[in-house]
Amino acid sequence: MKILLPPSETKRPGGDLPALRVEDLALPALRGHRDSVIDALVDLASDEDAARRVLKLSARQLGEIAHNRTLRTSPTMAAIDRYTGVLYDALDAPSLDAAARAHLHDHVLIHSAPFGPVAALDPIPLYRLAAGTSLPGVPPLRRHWSEASTSALAGEEAPFVLDLRSEAYVALGPIPASVPSAYVRVVTDADGATRALNHFNKKAKGAFVRAFAEDRVSPSSGQDLLDWAHWRGIRLRETSEARVWELVAAS
């Protein structure tokens, strides 16, 4: 199976791996689309005023432009380690053992704006680009990525896909109807009422993926995943909506 994660706006700087090799990233059919976005970001970074306007940067964020300028030459680190923030802090991938990290690489794709979906241990550089950004010379990212990413995901032929992405990143690559899948909402059942969560949404998703990595479970169907979650004490459940599940978290 595959688990789809969103990226995070916050990222760790630096890296101790070689520069980006687009041809080595997961889903190699996306190489042309990746090159188009990377080249557009690098070109945009040559004009600081334009980059600041397009990327919606404050004066304190101007250093982000330099990261984009060196996308093809700067050091990289594993995608699962690059991202920080609530979800990735709860996942805490750097603290996992080698076997658990390898399991993440086999089963987790992180859907980035410049590179599309990448595998957990794919090395990526530091960058600045959000899903809703309109880059000069490239179609709106939703149009640029959607069909290509959906096709690439279909080519994975995963028996089941669990979608933990935010709606903005779902739009960059909807899961094809031919692939068994579920989109996850994080909710709480406090006081007898089911309510969606915001901050705890990301924390619950990170904790879920960490448990998945620690147990190195490889479900062959959605029901297998639900059975594992029940055994693990994780409240993951189907809903009355087709292809929508709920992950119940403490508020």
- The 10s digit of each residue's pLDDT in 57-82 is 998 899 899 999 999 999 999 999 99
Share of the chain above pLDDT 90, in %: 91
- Mean pLDDT of the region 1-6: 98
156-170 pLDDT tens trace: 999 999 999 999 999
170-187 pLDDT tens trace: 999 999 999 999 999 999
Burial class (CB in 10 A: 0-12, 13-18, 19+), 112: buried
pLDDT for residue 193: 55
Distance CA 43, CA 137 (A): 10
Q: Give me 111's structure tokens.
A: 């859907």
- Mean pLDDT of the region 21-32: 98
pLDDT band (50, 70, 90) for residue 231: very high
pLDDT for residue 197: 54
pLDDT for residue 191: 62
122-155 pLDDT tens trace: 999 999 999 999 999 999 999 999 999 999 999 9
Dihedral of CA atoms 203, 165, 83, 250 in degrees, nearest 10, equals: 0
Share of the chain above pLDDT 70, in %: 96
- Mean pLDDT of the region 100-121: 98
pLDDT band (50, 70, 90) for residue 188: confident
Residues 6+ apart with CB under 8 A from 156: 2, 27
Q: Does residue 239 carry a pLDDT above 70? A: yes
Q: Which pairs with CB-CB distance under 8 Å and at least 24 residues apart come from 15-18?
A: 15/74, 15/75, 15/76, 15/77, 15/82, 15/123, 15/125, 15/126, 16/75, 16/77, 17/75, 17/76, 17/77, 17/78, 17/123, 18/75, 18/76, 18/123
pLDDT for residue 198: 61
Q: Does residue 236 carry a pLDDT above 90? A: yes
- Mean pLDDT of the region 102-131: 98
pLDDT band (50, 70, 90) for residue 190: low
pLDDT band (50, 70, 90) for residue 88: very high
pLDDT for residue 59: 87
Distance CA 209, CA 3 (A): 8
Owner of token pair 């409240």: 235
